[in-house]
Amino acid sequence: MSTVSDLPLDGITVVSLEQAVAAPYASRQLADLGARVIKIERPGTGDFARGYDDTVHGESSYFVWLNRSKESLTLDLKTPQGMQILWELLTEADVLVQNLGPGASARMGLGAAALAESHPRLIVCDISGYGADGPWQDRKAYDLLVQAEAGLLSVTGSEDEVAKAGISVADIAAGSFAYSGILAALFTRATTGRVRPVSVSLFEALAEWMGSPAYYTRYGGTSPLRTGARHATIAPYGPFVAGDGEAVLLAVQNHREWVRLCEEVLERPDLVADPRFARNPDRVAHRDELEPIIAEGVTGFTSAELAARLEAAGIANARMNTMAELWAHPVLAERKRWREVATPGGPAEALVPPASLAGIEPRMDPVPAVGEHSEAILAALGRTPAEVEALRAAAII
């Protein structure tokens, strides 16, 4: 079991003007590695993601997922007193993360250029919708809108209907790039002394993730088709219904696997020599002929038997799990990937971060209530109990 001092980012302080998903996801990953993350929230209501739902002991599922191991300080940054407290925090901070509305941080004097003058050691990470400059710098951006603008909707869904991704994929992409950018900036500061700001946009983060279909379209001349749960450019790759009515997904990645599927699973060696299916581009072009053959071939097996035959043949396969089945997945259980984390309403299970560092147990501290740490943080800044009460009475905290 590691101690706090073993964690790679122990001693790093992050102040985050964050809301929703992108910035909280970036800062939570920093907290997982031991950084002290001070989350600035609105007095009273806090981060509006707290109100998305109330499914986890009265707390939002989004908020519980994204905000463990943080300290919550409520501040009204529209008041001089609130801004003064923020400036004091930034004096000792290593990183400022913000994903406020377009132009909001700059209007508050918190732009990277201004802070480089007043706080030269502070790494500023700005997360925006479409970039801090350019033609859409003032445009609001939410996850589903960015999925549309980045072309994700055009390649997701069935032939007849587009579908959004089932998670906040643009926010998660941006938060992931912000996290890695901050780590790179911390490394640069530690090794060269140079402080470089980090900027990430939701749109450009998701555009990067759209690389494969973008290249396919740009140089192939046509956009990948919407193919539901099937892969748009690899075949066979998708769900097939076994004889018991349960779906099993299989994925053929190369000619060797195609031969094994035909000979060892389907017991149809004649398909190997069929010119319609000789190469992956051929199989994709003749998908409407290929898939009924496979569908008929798997009806003689139960889903468990089919999965076993695929596994024996070395062909990748999966079951179409529900969220409840994910929660009970044997890989997560047997690899001990769950930890208990406190929330304001009671304990909840949480997954440890996917990147495991040998010998290091990640930080998995409680999810804070709104303003839970305000008094302690303000006391550390030298405010007396009477001064704290005055700030609270004035709704500044």
DSSP secondary structure letter of residue 111: S
Calpha distance 395→397 (Å, rounded): 5
pLDDT higher than 90, residue 28? yes
What's domain 237-319's architecture?
2-Layer Sandwich (3.30)
Which part of the chain has CATH 3.40.50.10540? Answer: 4-210+339-393
Calpha distance 40→81 (Å, rounded): 14
| Distances in whole angstroms, Cα of residue 2 to Cα of each of 7, 98, 172, 330, 335 | 8, 30, 28, 25, 18
pLDDT higher than 90, residue 102? no
Number of other CB atoms surrounding residue 310 within 10 Å: 25
pLDDT higher than 80, residue 321? yes
Q: 20 — alpha (psi -120 to 50), left (phi > 0) or beta?
A: left
Token representation of residue 53: 């739902």
Which part of the chain has CATH 3.30.1540.10? Answer: 237-319
Calpha distance 169→166 (Å, rounded): 8
Q: Where are the alpha helices (DSSP H) in 210-264?
A: 211-220, 255-260
The mean-pLDDT minimum among 227-231, 240-244, 328-332, 352-356 falls in: 227-231
From the number of C-beta atoms within 10 Å of its C-beta (0-12, 13-18, 19+), residue 331 rates as: exposed
pLDDT higher than 50, residue 224? yes
pLDDT higher than 80, residue 5? no
CATH number attached to the domain at 4-210+339-393 = 3.40.50.10540
| Distances in whole angstroms, Cα of residue 259 to Cα of each of 263, 274, 313 | 6, 11, 10
- Cβ neighbors of 18 (< 8 A, separation 6 or more) are 24, 27, 39, 40, 47, 97, 98, 99
pLDDT higher than 90, residue 101? no
Token representation of residue 105: 């941080």
- Condensed to tens digits (0 to 9), the pLDDT of residues 384-394 reads 999 999 999 99
Beta carbons of 324 and 349 less than 8 angstroms apart: no
Number of other CB atoms surrounding residue 135 within 10 Å: 8
Beta carbons of 241 and 249 less than 8 angstroms apart: no
Q: What is the mean pLDDT of the chain?
A: 95
pLDDT higher than 80, residue 3? no
Q: Quote the distance between the C-alpha of residue 258 and its chain's center.
A: 34
pLDDT higher than 70, residue 1? no
Token representation of residue 224: 């990948």
Q: How confident is the model at residue 227 (pLDDT cuts 50, 70, 90)?
A: confident
Q: How confident is the model at residue 2 (pLDDT cuts 50, 70, 90)?
A: very low
Beta bridge partners of 250: 238, 317
Beta carbons of 308 and 318 less than 8 angstroms apart: no
Calpha distance 333→306 (Å, rounded): 24
Q: Tell me phi and psi for residue 199, to 5 degrees.
A: -135, 140
